[in-house]
Amino acid sequence: MYGLFLRHFYLITRSFPRVLDLVYWPTIQITLWGFISNFFATHTTYYNNAVGVILTCAILYDFLFRTSIGFNMLFLEEIWSRNFTNLFIAPMKIGEILTSLVATALIRALIGLIPAVLLTSPLFGISILDLGIFLFFLFLSLYLFGITLGILVSAGLLRYGPSFENIAWSTMFLLAPFGCIYYPIEILPDVFQKIAYLLPLVYIFEEARNILINQTVDIQNIYNAFLWNGVYFVLSIVLFYYSFNVAKNKGTLINMGE
Amino acid sequence: MKNLVEVKNIKKNYGKNEAVKGISFNIKEDEILGLLGPNGSGKTTTIGMLLGLLKPTSGEILINGQKLEGNRIEILEQINFISPYIELPKKLTVKQNLTVYGKLYKINNINERIEFLSEKLRLRGLLNSITGELSSGQKNRVSLAKALINEPKVLLLDEPTASLDPEVGDFVRSFLEDYKKEKKISILLASHNMNEVTRLCKSILMMKDGIIIDKGNPEELINKHGRKNLEEVFLKLSRSKNELN
């Protein structure tokens, strides 16, 4: 028994991503649900005139989640099946690998999204299409951020190996409190608001609520979302190339073990 | 015969650890070069550098006259690799796996190529089987088919017959001999099976602690060291101090 405990203890203490994983799940859950509870306790009438806002935001968030996790899954599948080396000795440029993963992640996310969208109407009498033409821009923005997160996590997998896998699963939850998915940004403390404004998520979800509740469109929110998406997307590509070069120096590409 | 592989004084350091300390060798067309050495001698690091998966700390690698540095994609089109430590996706059928790699290597006539390889490697009846459900010997032949899908000029083999039964091992060795003769390719064979190396290789490099400690053909090495076979030469060199760089 003690031997088995030691086996896992040694593994955890030798891996920073695993230690981080242990600490941050409870922190994130408490933070997220703390803000949600706080919001509903102080703004009981906020959603009265817009049935389905929460559900719409949940679908939007799920699309982001599926895109990001979908991208990570494609990368992780190659590690789990021990096919990683085969992939990286094939004559493909890094740009080609990324492009194919980005396209495949979109198809995966759409396969999950379409049934969810279709089900909300007969089950709850709500249509996400109420967001109109701007729905396309919101989805595009979420897709961009989803694949950006996917590329960032894949860069971490290249750099640190499979132990970075836990981070892959939890990036979305880490950002959820700052994303203001289910509550307006005003509910966050000032410091958190400053962080939230540096993410495209807050503009996307603020705009979704604005369209559904106020029946108006604030183009500035959509513009800000794309602006930040552009910044993070470029950053993620640069980081991926950097991680690839580090992996070539450290030997991670031929040694994808624990 | 021209050199398809030219390795010029390559070194690889991981921090302060010198995994490969400046080795040079060539592999000619229609030649199988054996790469022998105890675990940790630098064989896998050397193969990693030849595949472009590892960046040498210094030195130069040329494949078919082209520098690997700066021409990685063009060179990867001409080489391939097989190792028991890497696998193909298990859930895909054999044909799906070979088709995927045919596409990745931009093969025009994929079906013809798969047909040819499945005939040569006795895979015809397995094409629609799930790869993960195959025996070790069958998986090995599928991996070999994948490694030959692009008709490589240079083939890197890391223990290609490890864990195979004698019959399948013999089949793979015979296949490699015939294929090399027919296509005039260069093969680098890293193996711990001394009978296999004696049978397939006309020349051998012995590595230890990141350097080449001896080289020659199997017979020369056996005579030079006064041993009965290559395994005894391997044991002697592995246990001795470095003799030659």
* Residue A168: domain span: 2-254
Closest by CA to A166, choosing from A2, A32, A51, A11, is A11
CA of A146 to nearest chain B CA: how many angstroms apart? 25
Same domain, B187 and B243: yes
| Mean predicted lDDT score pLDDT of chain B | 92
Same domain, B115 and B58: no
Among residues B96, B125, B151, the one where a domain terminates is B151
pLDDT tens by residue, B191-221: 999 999 999 999 999 999 999 999 999 999 9
Judge whether A257 is closer than 8 Å to chain B, CB to CB.
no
- Determine whether the interchain pair B88/A249 forms a contact, defined as Cβ–Cβ distance below 8 Å: no
Same domain, B124 and B38: no
Q: What is the rounded CA–CA span in Å between residue B119 and residue B205?
A: 33
Same domain, B144 and B181: no
- Determine whether the interchain pair A89/B52 forms a contact, defined as Cβ–Cβ distance below 8 Å: yes
A73, A89, A100, A158: best to mutate for the B interface, most B CBs within 10 A: A89
- Determine whether the interchain pair A249/B74 forms a contact, defined as Cβ–Cβ distance below 8 Å: no
Nearest CA in chain A to B15: A250
Spell out which chain B residues touch chain A, with contact meaning CB-CB distance below 8 angstroms. 14, 44-45, 48, 51-55, 73-74, 76-77, 79-81, 83, 85-91, 101, 104-106, 146
DSSP B228: S
Among residues B132, B151, B170, the one where a domain terminates is B151
pLDDT for residue B24 is more than 90: yes
Same domain, B163 and B50: yes
Average pLDDT over residues B176-185: 92
* Total number of domains constituting chain B: 2
| Mean predicted lDDT score pLDDT of chain A | 84
DSSP-assigned states of every residue in A86-130: HHHTSS--HHHHHHHHHHHHHHHHHHHHHHHHHHHHHHHS--GGG
* Total number of domains constituting chain A: 1
pLDDT value at position A26?
62
- Determine whether the interchain pair A91/B86 forms a contact, defined as Cβ–Cβ distance below 8 Å: no
The answer to whether residues B230 and B221 touch, using CB atoms and an 8 Å cutoff, is yes
Q: Which residue has the tokens 């593994």?
A: A11
* Residue B213: domain span: 1-78+153-245
- Determine whether the interchain pair A85/B73 forms a contact, defined as Cβ–Cβ distance below 8 Å: no
pLDDT value at position B244?
47
Same domain, B108 and B14: no
Q: Predicted confidence band at A258 (pLDDT cuts at 50, 70, 90)?
A: very low
pLDDT value at position A25?
65
Higher-confidence residue: B217 or A126?
B217
Same domain, B101 and B25: no
Average pLDDT over residues B75-81: 96
Same domain, B72 and B140: no
- Global confidence as pTM: 0.83
